């Protein structure tokens, strides 16, 4: 399992034969090993990597730091390039923070149908309706779907395929949507082929062959 971080740029579209499918552009960060943690000193084995550029340089924090699985043979200061982690045909799970929607009602938040539009109803169109029972049990159960804050959750999109990799700019195009707004931080976990067990995948309802030989930079078009 390999992990790398990046920044969501935008969405576009790609073609495989006569099939068109959505793709998302992600700018990957080269990661620098900033700290190694061992069983003897810290009680567990991992390494801390730094990436991105900070808005303001401070002594405590320069860039962003994350802990990932320890890779044997790496030393502090080693730079991990994106091409060392993934390439065209790689299958990865992408994790990000979904867009915040603010306070939302049950119709938007849970796809409730709302109340009747006629027969004297004036202000019940988007109401949740009854939320509890009568005397027994006489309370509202925990977890009841109610209005509240929507979005801003950690969401993982599984088994997205890398269809294009630009080594000069460290940008990739992956199949399907990616959670979060533009310029938001995303985490890519590259899956091992042995864990997947197959060489052809269905991603987002569209066939994507590993290697994606039919895809080229000319087939990637940005949406207007």
- The average pLDDT across 3-29 equals 87
The pLDDT, as a whole number, for residue 50 is 80
Residue with the bigger pLDDT between 193 and 50: it is: 50
Task: Identify whether 95 is part of a domain.
Answer: yes
Question: Cα 183 to the chain's mean position, in Å?
Answer: 12
Same domain membership, residue 61 and residue 152: no
| pLDDT over 60 at 212, yes or no | no
The pLDDT, as a whole number, for residue 152 is 95
> Per residue in 93-142, pLDDT tens?
999 999 999 999 999 999 999 998 899 888 889 999 989 888 888 899 99
The pLDDT, as a whole number, for residue 200 is 39
| pLDDT over 60 at 27, yes or no | yes
Task: Identify whether 162 is part of a domain.
Answer: yes
Same domain membership, residue 162 and residue 96: yes
Question: Which structural domain range is residue 223 located in?
Answer: 1-29+82-110+146-224
Same domain membership, residue 161 and residue 54: no
Same domain membership, residue 86 and residue 44: no
* Mean of all residue pLDDT scores within the chain: 79
- The average pLDDT across 50-62 equals 59
| pLDDT over 50 at 199, yes or no | no
The pLDDT, as a whole number, for residue 87 is 85
- The average pLDDT across 36-60 equals 71
223 three-state secondary structure: coil
Total domains, the chain: 2
**CA–CA separation, 26 and 142 (whole Å):** 39
**What CATH number is given to the structural domain containing 193?**
2.40.30.10
Same domain membership, residue 157 and residue 94: yes
Same domain membership, residue 195 and residue 168: yes
Same domain membership, residue 94 and residue 195: yes
Using CA atoms, how far residue 83 sits from 22, 57, 177, in Å, is: 23, 28, 22
Task: Identify whether 135 is part of a domain.
Answer: no
| pLDDT over 60 at 80, yes or no | yes
**pTM for the predicted model, two decimal places:** 0.74
The pLDDT, as a whole number, for residue 13 is 84
Sequence-ordered strand ranges (E) for the chain: 2-16, 19-28, 31-37, 46-51, 64-68, 79-80, 91-97, 102-104, 148-150, 154-166, 171-175, 185-190, 200-203, 206-209, 221-222
- The average pLDDT across 168-183 equals 91
| pLDDT over 50 at 65, yes or no | yes
The pLDDT, as a whole number, for residue 188 is 93
| pLDDT over 60 at 206, yes or no | no
The pLDDT, as a whole number, for residue 37 is 78
């Amino acid at each position: 399992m390999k992990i790398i971080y990046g920044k969501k740029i935008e969405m576009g579209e790609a073609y495989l034969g006569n099939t068109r499918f959505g793709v998302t552009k992600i700018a990957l960060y080269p990661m620098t090993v900033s700290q190694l943690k061992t069983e003897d000193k810290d009680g567990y084995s991992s390494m801390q990597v730094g990436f991105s550029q900070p808005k303001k340089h401070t002594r405590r924090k320069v860039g962003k730091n994350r802990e990932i699985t320890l890779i044997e043979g790496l030393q502090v200061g080693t730079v991990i390039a994106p091409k060392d982690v993934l390439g065209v045909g790689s299958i990865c799970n992408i994790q990000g923070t979904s867009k915040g929607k603010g306070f939302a009602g049950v119709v938007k938040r849970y796809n409730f149908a709302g109340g009747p539009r006629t027969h004297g109803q004036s202000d019940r169109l988007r109401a949740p309706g009854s939320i509890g029972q009568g005397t027994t049990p006489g309370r509202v159960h925990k977890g009841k779907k109610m209005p509240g804050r929507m979005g801003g959750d950690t969401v993982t999109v599984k088994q997205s395929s890398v269809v294009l990799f630009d080594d000069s700019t460290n940008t990739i195009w992956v199949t399907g949507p990616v959670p979060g707004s533009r310029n938001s931080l995303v985490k890519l976990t590259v899956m091992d082929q042995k864990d997947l067990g197959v060489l052809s995948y269905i991603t987002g309802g569209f066939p994507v062959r590993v290697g994606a030989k039919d895809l080229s930079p000319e087939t990637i078009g940005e949406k207007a």
